[in-house]
């Protein structure tokens, strides 16, 4: 799954004629409006969708041919093309050489390239058994058949059974074929021999744009992944390097007018000069399909009249074709701003931004997150700084409350009352219990989750019972000395999963932690670690400590291996359900909900001090749009009933049936290799899961600072730095101090 940073960028008034090349004649002036005595600049690029031809099949490439847009599609192995001239698509017929590639050569074309030599090329992967894995470069042989023009050296089978792993290509005017390899090498082949080579970014996927060619130049992403190197197409001599100060692994580059290139990514469309050093923003990406994490830009090219075209693959199936065109009537700088803030960036939020922006093009959406790296963890200082900002009556309009002290915010009046909005959403089919139980004080709703993760449990009956509360665990350990509860695990996984499972039982009536109960729990946990031989497992795997926070889950009792006596696992979407359901099926056990717990995810609240209350509510509504809720974003299950029902339909679609995941690892206790092959749960299993979700009653919400405190002090106990009693006391004191803040 890709994660992109959604950044709000003010579109400065640089879109004057002459700077925005190809959009308007240079003698035209930007239109201006007068409003309230002020001059408002007009003119900016806007996004518009071009409907794909009805019944066209799967789209896999676009081409600009003589000023017309050509779309390539596939039904099975049969390939077809359509040409758009004006506002209509014309059926251009079958593309026989592309079909021949699949039927005769066993190679399916997945990406289209226009060579500078005038030919159309396809990059293809094997689509049947017996062909070594690796990309091939194909073109029309001239008689309707496919010709494999991959450099011969790239087709030599290596020790791993694959051919050279190619990720991108470009063809120069003289027919020289440039290829980008997965190891970062860029090589140019002339008559089968290497004419020149350089280096780019090492890639971890089987296709990634790293290069493009114009009439006289070649653009290649630099080794640092944040610059573009320009080479002569004749001598291969490096002419210039332009720093773009961004991660280029998610960007596509295409040539425009002579000496001008355009770069597209989640931030928008940028203009790059071959001989310059400044990257100019042409169109901000916020609120466009470019910025949504569920859409992959697979083709990007310039049109004949200054417009741009982007073909996207959509997560969950389908493609969309977008046009980016200069609109002289659109305000260059948007008049209003809606700010959104969360600790981590989130795919569902960025999808909702896109829906909201399409409804409110006059509003600039400023979506920011404390951390953008999936491996980075928000710090306590970050949260404390945010708390101070909010208490001072400032801060973002919309607050994504995941990991924040929601109870404290409600008590201190930081959040606006969303009761009317929650009733409206409930009437539209959002799960009433999830809305009504998550962030409520005195029957007023202050936060609404757009997703829920679900802890599930399966295993041996007596051991499942032992995981229900601290007393049951204590009794089990006394009655079954030496009896394992989980499969292979670590002290962090076992400890934090059980602490979270028992969190409500360990609290006092005032909401703090009970020191006596906590001491007994810690004693039982240490005994369980001894029984589970966690130290031996950790030595073998090298997972002694520090892995829990990186996992980002609250329930994960053991490694994902077979033969778990009990497994407690947090699932956050259909994809994450694959392996747990496969293991449960193999063990003959039924997956059940755990204590009717749900973890509220993507919790939206409104800053009570916001001056944009109405717009903020409209944005929250977008989180519950069916198109947003249907996405499997690995940030929780939908809470809209129609989107839940869609899950049961989706798992029977051809795309879902073909999808599978494989896991292989060594059992740290036996040394045996364990392999698990899993597909989506069956329709019956999904319907059972939907029943679990619809019956959820109890939100599990532990403040991230509280969880971090418990984890750190349990580590001190496990390593012998302090006693059980000292650990319980330290946890209680630190948690009380934090909550008092």
CATH 1.10.3720.10 applies to domain 334-456+593-657: no
As given in the structure block, the two tokens for residue 65 are 């041919």
3-state helix, strand, coil in the chain (%, to 5): 30, 35, 40
Element (H, E) at 458: strand 444-459
Region(s) of the chain under CATH 2.120.10.30: 32-333
Rounded Cα distance, 17 and 24, in Å = 6
Count CB atoms within 10 A of the CB of residue 388: 12
- Evaluate whether 404 touches 447 at the Cβ level (below 8 Å): no
Rounded Cα distance, 473 and 491, in Å = 16
CA distances from 469 to 501, 502, 506, 514, 603 (A): 7, 6, 9, 14, 27
Sequence-ordered list of residues with C-beta below 8 angstroms from that of 317, at least 6 positions apart, any chain: 653, 655
pLDDT for 427 equals 96
Nearest C-alpha neighbor of 353 from the set 602, 712, 709: 602
Rounded Cα distance, 123 and 69, in Å = 20
What is the edge-to-edge ordering of all strands in the sheet holding 217-221? Answer: 211-213, 217-221, 227-232, 238-243
pLDDT tens digits along 504-554: 999 988 888 999 999 999 999 999 999 999 999 888 877 767 778 778 789
Sequence-ordered list of residues with C-beta below 8 angstroms from that of 125, at least 6 positions apart, any chain: 107, 108, 110, 133, 134, 135, 136, 206
Rounded Cα distance, 703 and 603, in Å = 13
**What letter does residue 52 receive in the DSSP assignment?**
P
Burial of 393 from C-beta contacts in 10 A (0-12 / 13-18 / 19+):
exposed
pLDDT for 287 equals 80
pTM: 0.75
pLDDT for 42 equals 74
Rounded Cα distance, 525 and 517, in Å = 12
Write out residues in the chain with pLDDT < 70, as ranges: 1-41, 316, 332-334, 373-375, 544, 560-562, 741
At what angle are helices 534-541 and 491-506 packed, to 10 degrees?
Answer: 130
Rounded Cα distance, 716 and 725, in Å = 12
**What letter does residue 103 receive in the DSSP assignment?**
H
Rounded Cα distance, 51 and 526, in Å = 61
Helix, strand or coil, per DSSP, at residue 173: coil
Looking from the CA of 722 toward its CB, the CA atoms found within 13 Å total 16
HEC sequence for 486-533 = CCCCCHHHHHHHHHHHHHHHHECCCCCECHHHHHHHHHHHHHHHHHHC
- Evaluate whether 585 touches 450 at the Cβ level (below 8 Å): no
CATH of domain 32-333: 2.120.10.30
Burial of 307 from C-beta contacts in 10 A (0-12 / 13-18 / 19+):
middle
CA 329 distance to own-chain centroid: 34
Helix, strand or coil, per DSSP, at residue 232: strand
Rounded Cα distance, 498 and 468, in Å = 9
Sequence-ordered list of residues with C-beta below 8 angstroms from that of 94, at least 6 positions apart, any chain: 78, 79, 80
Rounded Cα distance, 59 and 74, in Å = 6
Nearest C-alpha neighbor of 518 from the set 733, 715, 724: 724
Nearest C-alpha neighbor of 548 from the set 732, 377, 370: 377
Maximal C-alpha separation, the chain: 89
Region(s) of the chain under CATH 3.40.190.10: 334-456+593-657
What is the edge-to-edge ordering of all strands in the sheet holding 78-85? Answer: 58-65, 68-75, 78-85, 88-94
pLDDT for 12 equals 25
Helix, strand or coil, per DSSP, at residue 587: helix
CA distances from 36 to 12, 33, 39, 41, 576 (A): 21, 10, 8, 14, 54
Counting every residue, how long is the chain? 741
Render the burial of 83-114: b for 16+ CB within 10 Å, e for the rest.
bbeeeebeeeeebbbbbbbbbebbbbbbbbbb
Burial of 46 from C-beta contacts in 10 A (0-12 / 13-18 / 19+):
middle
pLDDT for 662 equals 75
Share of the chain above pLDDT 70, in %: 92
As given in the structure block, the two tokens for residue 174 are 């003289």
Nearest C-alpha neighbor of 260 from the set 271, 246, 245, 244: 271
Looking from the CA of 192 toward its CB, the CA atoms found within 13 Å total 5
Sequence-ordered list of residues with C-beta below 8 angstroms from that of 26, at least 6 positions apart, any chain: 17, 18
Rounded Cα distance, 71 and 81, in Å = 5
pLDDT for 375 equals 62
pLDDT for 492 equals 94
pLDDT for 316 equals 67
Looking from the CA of 317 toward its CB, the CA atoms found within 13 Å total 14
Cα R_g (the chain), whole angstroms: 28
Count CB atoms within 10 A of the CB of residue 22: 15
Burial of 401 from C-beta contacts in 10 A (0-12 / 13-18 / 19+):
buried
Rounded Cα distance, 300 and 718, in Å = 54
CA angle at residue 368 from 365 to 371, to 5 degrees? 160
Rounded Cα distance, 204 and 188, in Å = 21
Rounded Cα distance, 338 and 330, in Å = 18
Nearest C-alpha neighbor of 164 from the set 150, 176, 174, 177: 150
Helix, strand or coil, per DSSP, at residue 699: strand
CA 392 distance to own-chain centroid: 33
Count CB atoms within 10 A of the CB of residue 172: 23
End-to-end CA distance of the chain: 37
Rounded Cα distance, 619 and 158, in Å = 53
Burial of 266 from C-beta contacts in 10 A (0-12 / 13-18 / 19+):
buried
At what angle are helices 704-718 and 724-740 packed, to 10 degrees?
Answer: 160
């Amino acid at each position: 799954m890709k994660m992109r940073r959604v950044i709000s960028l003010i579109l400065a008034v640089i879109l004057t004629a002459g700077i925005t090349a190809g959009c308007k004649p240079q003698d035209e002036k930007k239109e201006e409006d007068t409003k309230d005595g002020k001059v408002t600049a007009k003119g900016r690029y806007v996004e518009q969708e071009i409907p794909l031809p009805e019944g066209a099949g799967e789209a896999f490439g676009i081409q600009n041919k003589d000023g017309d847009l050509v779309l390539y599609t596939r039904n099975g192995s049969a390939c077809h093309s359509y040409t758009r001239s004006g506002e209509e698509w014309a059926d251009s017929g079958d593309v026989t050489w592309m079909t021949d590639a699949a039927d005769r050569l066993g190679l399916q074309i997945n990406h289209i390239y226009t060579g500078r030599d005038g030919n159309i090329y396809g990059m293809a992967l094997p689509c049947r058994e017996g062909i070594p894995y690796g990309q091939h470069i194909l073109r029309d042989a001239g008689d309707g058949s496919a010709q494999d023009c991959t450099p011969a050296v790239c087709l030599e089978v290596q020790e791993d059974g694959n051919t050279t792993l190619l990720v991108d290509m470009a063809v120069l005017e003289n027919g020289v074929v440039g290829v980008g390899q997965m190891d970062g090498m860029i090589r140019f082949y002339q008559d089968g021999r290497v004419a020149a080579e350089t280096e780019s970014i090492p890639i971890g996927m089987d296709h990634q744009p790293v290069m493009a060619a114009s009439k006289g130049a070649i653009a290649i992403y630099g080794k640092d992944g944040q610059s573009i190197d320009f080479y002569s197409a004749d001598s291969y001599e490096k002419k210039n390097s332009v720093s773009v100060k961004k991660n280029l692994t998610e960007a596509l580059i295409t040539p425009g007018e002579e000496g001008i290139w355009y770069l597209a990514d989640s931030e928008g469309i940028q203009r790059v000069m071959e001989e310059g050093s400044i990257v100019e923003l042409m169109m901000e990406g916020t609120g466009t399909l470019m910025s949504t994490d569920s859409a992959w830009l697979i083709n990007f090219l310039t049109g004949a009249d200054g417009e741009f075209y982007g073909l996207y693959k959509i997560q969950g199936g389908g493609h969309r074709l977008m046009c980016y065109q200069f609109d002289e009537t659109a305000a260059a700088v948007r008049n209003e701003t809606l700010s959104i803030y969360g600790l981590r960036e989130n795919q569902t939020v960025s999808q909702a931004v896109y829906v909201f922006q399409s409804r409110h093009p006059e509003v600039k959406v400023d979506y920011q997150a404390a951390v953008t790296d999936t491996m980075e963890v928000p710090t306590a200082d970050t949260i404390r700084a945010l708390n101070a900002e909010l208490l001072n009556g400032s801060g973002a309009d919309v607050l994504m409350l995941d990991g924040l002290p929601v109870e404290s915010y409600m008590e201190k009046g930081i959040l606006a009352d969303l009761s009317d909005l929650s009733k409206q959403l409930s009437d539209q089919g959002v799960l009433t219990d999830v809305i009504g139980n998550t962030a409520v004080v005195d029957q007023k709703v202050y936060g609404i989750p757009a997703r829920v993760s679900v802890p599930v449990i399966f295993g041996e009956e007596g051991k499942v019972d032992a995981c229900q509360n601290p007393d049951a665990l204590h009794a089990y350990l006394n009655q079954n000395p030496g009896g394992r509860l989980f499969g292979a695990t670590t002290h962090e996984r076992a400890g934090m999963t059980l602490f979270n499972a028992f969190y409500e039982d360990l609290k006092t009536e005032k909401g703090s932690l009970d020191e006596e109960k906590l001491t007994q729990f810690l004693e039982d946990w240490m005994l369980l670690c001894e029984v589970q031989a966690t130290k031996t497992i950790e030595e073998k795997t090298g997972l002694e400590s520090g892995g829990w926070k990186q996992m980002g889950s609250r329930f994960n009792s053991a490694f994902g291996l077979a033969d778990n006596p009990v497994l407690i696992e947090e699932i956050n979407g259909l994809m994450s359900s694959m392996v747990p359901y496969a293991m449960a099926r193999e063990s003959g056990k039924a997956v059940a909900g755990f204590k009717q717990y749900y973890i509220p995810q993507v919790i939206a609240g409104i800053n009570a001090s916001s001056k944009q209350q109405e717009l903020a509510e409209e944005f929250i509504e977008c989180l519950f749009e069916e198109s947003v809720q249907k996405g499997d974003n690995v940030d929780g299950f939908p809470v809209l009933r129609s989107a839940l029902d869609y899950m049961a339909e989706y798992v029977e679609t051809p795309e879902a049936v073909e999808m599978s995941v494989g896991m292989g690892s060594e059992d740290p206790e036996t040394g045996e290799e364990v392999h698990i092959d899993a597909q989506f749960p069956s329709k019956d299993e999904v319907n059972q899961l939907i029943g679990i979700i619809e019956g959820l009653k109890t939100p599990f919400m532990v403040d991230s600072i509280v969880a971090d405190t418990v984890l750190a002090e349990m580590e001190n106990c496990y390593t012998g730095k302090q006693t059980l009693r000292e650990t319980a006391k330290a946890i209680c004191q630190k948690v009380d101090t934090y909550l008092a803040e």
